[in-house]
């Protein structure tokens, strides 16, 4: 019979149950920060982070966004300065969104060589073009007076095929301005094929197409509407995907790949990690995710209220994308997180 002293450890009663000799103890691999780094299954890297940036025509200085603390609408000069800082931090690329002073029914400023987005592409090509990947949003919603991602027919519905002609014109303008990657985000049927055909016919065979293969009609886009001064009335449910549908995303993925997409993307991010993981399993090309404005705002406002610890929450949210299989992530924290990762031990 074991004596009472033999059952004591460091002056305390031993637990009634102890693991058997040689039992599996996963906690061994969590014991120190160095061990945890060594066995980490998922890692973030600055080059896998892409910074979305907004540039607005007519500004004399950057304009902060009330719904996205820390994010601004840039002037061309402040855009160039912030882009240099992001590149120095090591981000993988920059995604540009343009906000014109004048909008019309067909989004004429979108393919105007002197439109704000095309001027911004040229400016960044001059400033940082050799050091990063310059990407451009290819959609009409920022440029139309009605705020939809396509042109409207006589009934007020989005005309899919007429919109493809406008996308092709925008693609040529953005390619000629110097964009490396074009991101058609309008969810029009056949958009990748139409844009690829236009680019190839004009000799822009090296321009990369980032297909927004699954872009959901989400409640989390709210702050983005402020960022681009959206003129939208109504909603986009006739072209963006229903949040309840998962298999449909894989159908869109297959179509985009068949039409010539070089990279595919899931948007939004955290509410659709299941869709992201399924896309990764099915895709032979890189799969990206977009951590959108509402996801950003939730963490920022929760942290400001003291409800969560800000940087650990940001890093955890980004790690979730990587764990689900994303090759890269568009996030408004890209530059800040890139700097944070460089400060952490290798």
Point out the catalytic residue in the list 56, 84, 267, 322: 267
Q: State the distance between the two ends of the chain, measured CA to CA, in whole angstroms.
A: 52
Q: Which of 316, 211, 239, 312 is nearest to 273 (CA)?
A: 316
Task: Please indicate whether residue 56 is annotated as part of the active site.
Answer: no
267 is an active site residue: yes
Residues 6+ apart with CB under 8 A from 145: 103, 104, 105, 231
Catalytic residues: 215, 267
């Amino acid at each position: 019979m074991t004596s009472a002293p033999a059952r004591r450890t460091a002056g305390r009663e031993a637990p009634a149950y102890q693991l058997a000799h040689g039992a599996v103890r996963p906690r061994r691999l969590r014991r120190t920060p160095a061990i945890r780094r060594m066995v980490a299954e998922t890692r973030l890297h600055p080059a896998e982070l892409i910074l979305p940036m907004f540039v607005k025509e007519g500004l004399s200085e950057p304009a902060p966004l009330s719904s996205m603390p820390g994010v601004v609408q840039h002037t061309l000069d402040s855009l160039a300065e912030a882009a240099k800082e992001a590149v120095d931090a090591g981000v993988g690329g920059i995604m540009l969104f343009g906000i014109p002073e004048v909008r019309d029914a067909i989004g004429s400023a979108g393919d105007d060589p002197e439109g704000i987005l095309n001027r911004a592409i040229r400016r960044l090509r001059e400033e940082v073009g050799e050091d990063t990947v310059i990407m451009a949003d290819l959609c009409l919603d920022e440029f139309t007076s009605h705020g939809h991602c396509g042109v409207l027919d006589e009934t007020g519905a989005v005309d899919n095929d007429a919109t493809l002609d406008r996308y092709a014109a925008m693609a040529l303008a953005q390619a000629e301005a110097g964009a490396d990657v074009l991101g058609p985000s309008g969810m029009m049927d056949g958009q990748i094929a139409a844009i690829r055909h236009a680019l190839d016919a004009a000799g822009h065979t090296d321009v990369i197409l980032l297909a927004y293969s699954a872009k959901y009609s989400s409640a989390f886009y709210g702050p983005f509407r402020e960022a681009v001064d959206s003129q939208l009335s109504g909603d986009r449910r006739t072209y963006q995907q229903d949040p309840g549908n998962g298999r449909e995303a894989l159908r869109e993925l297959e179509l985009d790949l068949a039409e010539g997409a070089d990279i595919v993307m899931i948007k939004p991010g955290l509410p659709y990690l299941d869709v992201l993981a399924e896309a990764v399993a099915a895709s032979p090309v890189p799969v990206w995710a977009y951590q959108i404005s509402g996801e950003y705002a939730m963490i920022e406002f929760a942290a400001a209220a003291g409800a969560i610890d800000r940087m650990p929450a940001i890093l955890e949210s980004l790690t979730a994308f990587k764990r689900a299989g994303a090759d890269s992530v568009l996030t408004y924290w890209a530059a800040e997180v890139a700097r944070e990762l460089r400060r952490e031990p290798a």
